Structure 1
Amino acid sequence: MLHRIGVISDTHLPQFKQLPEALWTHFADVELIIHAGDLSQLSVLSELETLAPVVAVQGNVELPEVVMQLPIKKEITVGGCRIGIVHILGSAQAYPQTARREFPLARVVVFGHSHNPYNEEHAGQLLFNPGSATDRRHQPTCSLGMLTIDDQDGSVHGETIPLPR
């Protein structure tokens, strides 16, 4: 079975007025959405849940309502794939070591915070940051992510989806 998981991070609402319009098209057929933190307000989850179930962690720029409801990190399993989720993974040079320490058995570690997309394998662990959906900072565009898990061959593939300006 193929599993398509939408991945989003650093939405920072209401500072950025709304979720990107392209999200509704790209995530229309996903079975799950992962939000890797910095929602800022819980209404983001309600909006995303109109498309698919949502698993989220808190970031470092959250209203108290988010901090009270969401964990700092979480591990889930989709098909046969273990996925660790955290907002801050540390410095880019330390991503592989930090990911392995935080989620030793995870096949994928999803994170956010930097607003920089990241999609690299390190010793059998895929590290995936979708970038920011609303604040491109030093990137050419904002972006979303998609994880595709294939239960048949045990593979997982991450894709960064640039958004129109």
Structure 2
Amino acid sequence: MKVVALADTHAPRRWKSCPPRVAEHLRDADVILHAGDVCVAGVLDELAAYAPVHVVKGNNDGPDVVAPETLELDLGGLRVAMIHDSGAAQGRPARMRRRFPTADLVVFGHSHIPLDHSENGLRIFNPGSPTDRRRQPHGTLGLLRIENGRLLDARIVAVT
């Protein structure tokens, strides 16, 4: 299963429409995860044209973005949790383990800083932002490959 992870698209200020380099990765996605700060619900409609979308609410999402604060789902047997703001970097893995005790993977956003880190059996993954790179050298997204309940590959991919 190919999963594309996005966060912090910040439409319409940063996301006018799906950037071509993002669309390249969406074309063969089985599932799309958006870790919040969609900002305009139309982005979710645009993404849903490619694959089913799971989303959590970000701190900049208004009432038109209907999404839970957290989400826990099974993707091909892998237990995935989603949250927008995972808090301070220090202590994050332990905090996410307490918050999502059964998760194999936590996908989050908010900082716009890509991160792929494993600790004590928990993988925490921030895809960064494809459209609002802030202090990062590139806009990014995440690519995850899941098979038989295992995360076989997780990559941060530059799209700008």
TM-score by length of 2: 0.95
Which residue, out of 110, 115, 120, partners 2:117? 120
Tell me the residue number matched to 2:154.
Answer: 158
- In 1, Cα distance between equivalents of 2:100 and 2:20: 33
Tell me the residue number matched to 2:132.
Answer: 135
Size of the alignment, in residue pairs?
159
Does 2:106 correspond to 1:109?
A: yes
- In 1, Cα distance between equivalents of 2:151 and 2:158: 23
CA contact (8 A) 2:144 2:151 kept: no
- In 2, Cα distance between equivalents of 1:113 and 1:155: 23
CA contact (8 A) 1:116 1:131 kept: yes
CA drift of 1:53 comes to 0.4
Q: 1:14 to 1:128 in 2, by over 3 A?
A: same
Q: Which amino acid aligns with 2:77?
A: G
Tell me the residue number matched to 1:51.
Answer: 50
What runs of 5+ residues in structure 1 fail to find an aligned partner? Answer: none
Q: Secondary structure of the equivalent of 2:154? A: strand
What runs of 5+ residues in structure 2 fail to find an aligned partner? Answer: none
CA contact (8 A) 2:3 2:143 kept: yes
Does 2:25 correspond to 1:26?
A: yes
CA drift of 1:30 comes to 1.1
Give runs of ≥4 in structure 1 deviating > 6 Å.
none
Q: Which amino acid aligns with 1:123?
A: N
Q: Which amino acid aligns with 1:133?
A: P
Tell me the residue number matched to 1:9.
Answer: 7
Instruction: After superposition, give the CA deviation of every residue in 1:40-92 in whole Å (9 maximum; x if it has no partner).
Output: 011010000010000000000012211xx210000000111000000000011
Identity of aligned residues (%): 40
Q: Which amino acid aligns with 1:160?
A: I
Give the superposed CA RMSD. Answer: 1.2
Q: Which amino acid aligns with 2:33?
A: I
- In 1, Cα distance between equivalents of 2:12 and 2:91: 31
Instruction: After superposition, give the CA deviation of every residue in 1:84-135 in whole Å (9 maximum; x if it has no partner).
Output: 0000000111210121011110000000000000001111111000001110
